[in-house]
Amino acid sequence: MQEKEFRQAGHYLVDFIADYLENVDKKPLFPDVQPAYLHELFDEPIPVHQLSLAQLQELLEEKLIPYCTHVNHPGYMGLITPSPNPAGILSDFLASALNQNLGAYSIGPAAVAMELRVIRWLNDLIGFDDKAGGNLTSGGMTANFIGLKLARDYTSHDRAQYDGMEKKWTAYVSEERHVSIDKAVDAVGIGRNNLRTLPTDDEFRIRIDALEKAIEKDKENGLQPICIIALAGTTNLGAVDDLHALHRIAEREACWMHVDAAYGGGMLLSAKQPDLLNGLSLADSVTIDPHKWFYAPLDAGAILVKDHRQLTKSFGLEPAYLTDQTDQKHDRYQFYVHGFEQSKRFRSLKVWSSFQHYGKNQIGEWIDGNVEQARYLHELATADDHFISATFPMMSATCIRYNAGELNDDQLRQLHHEVTTRIERGGQFWFATTSMKGKTWFRINPVNIHTTLAHMSNLFELLKQTCEEVLEEMTKQSLKFEV
């Protein structure tokens, strides 16, 4: 072991990261480079010769750092990947060094206790009592998958684990769902064609009348509801479904209620809107991603389950090679018996450390700051005749669209995509586009500790200017065709 070299390279790396975080706003947010260039840059066989750690660092500074998307940059407002908090960054470094494997107690006793505590904290935030449990996961995708598997097993009276799906089942969710729900219904054997994706109201919440009609029709055709999936913070807009109404229906139909709060779960820490997710505790399972709006570095998702026993019924296999013979008192918690993963990263360390270092109030203030930034952008767009905002943002996700000139929907789609591409090239901001109710929108989501209101006004000015520029070019172009 090269202790001296490790120490030197490690000190250098920490300084490097500190400088990086301090100066990231001066870098172009997105690299101006073609994918083919990057493939060529990394096109090399497995190395045969050795590099020192200092040479390795040099190589990373040359080949990796200039071509990153700098999510720490205050102008990053794209797909939901917040700026990671520094306590979390250091914790991940330590987690790799300790390499505790939380699948089994014997490979990380304190780590297992810490993970159980983090799960308890998240359950406390939801309002689940001490019967609750959960797993930290790679993210919302895996958490939603586990939620849907629990639904399948519970509603089939714990037969589906053994017999597979004997009946025809259906699941229900709004059209604003994240694609992880489609993947999850596929993975647990419900089937994508048996997922009913229902229309939303003006505030982008599932329409209860449409849900009732869909259930009635399915039951007439011999299909049985297996799960109602509520969204508490849609990916596009942070919309929150009527959790109370959905719970009443799930209870009546004797099926599972899963809530996807992968992004919106952050609002549980908000001091300004503490009741926005009221009703979350009615769910049977909830997805919350600490690596989204708790500002933990990737990866840290969570599935929280009201009755911990359902996790055990769903996953509880104990092969001989994993059984812990030294567990004489049977008090060692084995995550592998109560979850899907076997080898399991020490994800809770960064979440635990973030709460210890900042406290939940500070994290809540960052969240409230992001909501304020979104609302400011909404106001700017609403005050401008050429922009439309989809709705008043409940959280940080905002969708606005440009609507000047005589362009049809297809031309407006092209305009939005071209504007987004130009702004990406400019390197000051990054955001996505999306489609809702047949229209194309700029989807702007500040989930960054470093973003301020000034960044939002600069962004809006740049958007206006770029939209006008592209509109003018498109108009000239179509006049040319008409001539």
Ligand X SMILES: Cc1ncc(COP(=O)(O)O)c(C=O)c1O
Please tell me whether the peptide bond between 25 and the residue prior to it is cis, using omega within 30 degrees of 0: no
Residue closer to ligand X, measured from CB, 236 or 353 = 236
Residue closer to ligand X, measured from CB, 262 or 282 = 262
**Given 105, 145, 169, 263, the residue binding ligand X (CB under 6 A):** 263
**Given 253, 284, 289, 341, the residue binding ligand X (CB under 6 A):** 289
* Stretch binding ligand X (CB under 6 A), from 12-20, 62-70, 257-265, 346-354: 257-265
Q: Which two tokens stand for residue 464?
A: 């206006």
How far are the Cα atoms of 208, 292, 362, 446 from residue 85, in angstroms, in the given order? 39, 11, 11, 15
Q: Counting contacts by CB under 6 A, is residue 260 touching ligand X?
A: yes
**Given 139, 147, 369, 446, the residue binding ligand X (CB under 6 A):** 139
Q: Which two tokens stand for residue 285?
A: 């399972």
* Stretch binding ligand X (CB under 6 A), from 33-41, 139-147, 152-160, 370-378: 139-147
Residue closer to ligand X, measured from CB, 9 or 371 = 371
**Given 178, 306, 443, 455, the residue binding ligand X (CB under 6 A):** 178
- Decide if 149 contacts 308 (C-beta within 8 A): no
The minimum distance between CB 140 and ligand X, in angstroms, equals: 3
The minimum distance between CB 235 and ligand X, in angstroms, equals: 4
Strands (E), 62-121: none
Q: Counting contacts by CB under 6 A, is residue 140 touching ligand X?
A: yes
- Cα torsion for 98, 103, 106, 111, to the nearest 10°? 50
**Given 265, 290, 301, 339, the residue binding ligand X (CB under 6 A):** 301
Q: How far apart are CA 371 and CA 353, in angstroms?
A: 24
The minimum distance between CB 266 and ligand X, in angstroms, equals: 11
* Stretch binding ligand X (CB under 6 A), from 137-145, 155-163, 401-409, 450-458: 137-145
Q: Counting contacts by CB under 6 A, is residue 84 touching ligand X?
A: no
The minimum distance between CB 59 and ligand X, in angstroms, equals: 29
* Stretch binding ligand X (CB under 6 A), from 14-22, 133-141, 182-190, 215-223: 133-141
Q: Counting contacts by CB under 6 A, is residue 141 touching ligand X?
A: yes
**Given 87, 195, 262, 432, the residue binding ligand X (CB under 6 A):** 262
Residue closer to ligand X, measured from CB, 257 or 471 = 257
Q: Counting contacts by CB under 6 A, is residue 80 touching ligand X?
A: yes
In terms of residues, how long is the chain?
483
The minimum distance between CB 143 and ligand X, in angstroms, equals: 7
- Decide if 197 contacts 177 (C-beta within 8 A): yes
Q: Counting contacts by CB under 6 A, is residue 180 touching ligand X?
A: yes
State which of positions 212-251 bind ligand X (CB under 6 A). 235
For the chain, state the CA radius of gyration.
Answer: 24
189 burial (CB, 10 Å; 0-12 / 13-18 / 19+) is middle
State which of positions 335-364 bind ligand X (CB under 6 A). none
Q: Could you tell me which of 76, 258, 131, 261 has the C-alpha nearest to residue 269? A: 261
Q: Provide long-range contacts, Cβ within 8 A and 24+ apart, for 117-122.
A: 117/348, 117/352, 118/290, 118/348, 118/351, 118/352, 118/355, 119/302, 119/304, 119/348, 121/355, 122/265, 122/288, 122/290, 122/302, 122/304
Sign of the four-CA dihedral 337, 341, 345, 347: negative
DSSP 228: E
Q: Counting contacts by CB under 6 A, is residue 74 touching ligand X?
A: no
How far are the Cα atoms of 22, 220, 323, 438 from residue 249, in angstroms, in the given order? 50, 17, 41, 29
Q: Counting contacts by CB under 6 A, is residue 176 touching ligand X?
A: no
Binding-site ranges for ligand X (CB under 6 A): 80, 139-141, 144, 178, 180, 235, 260, 262-263, 289, 301
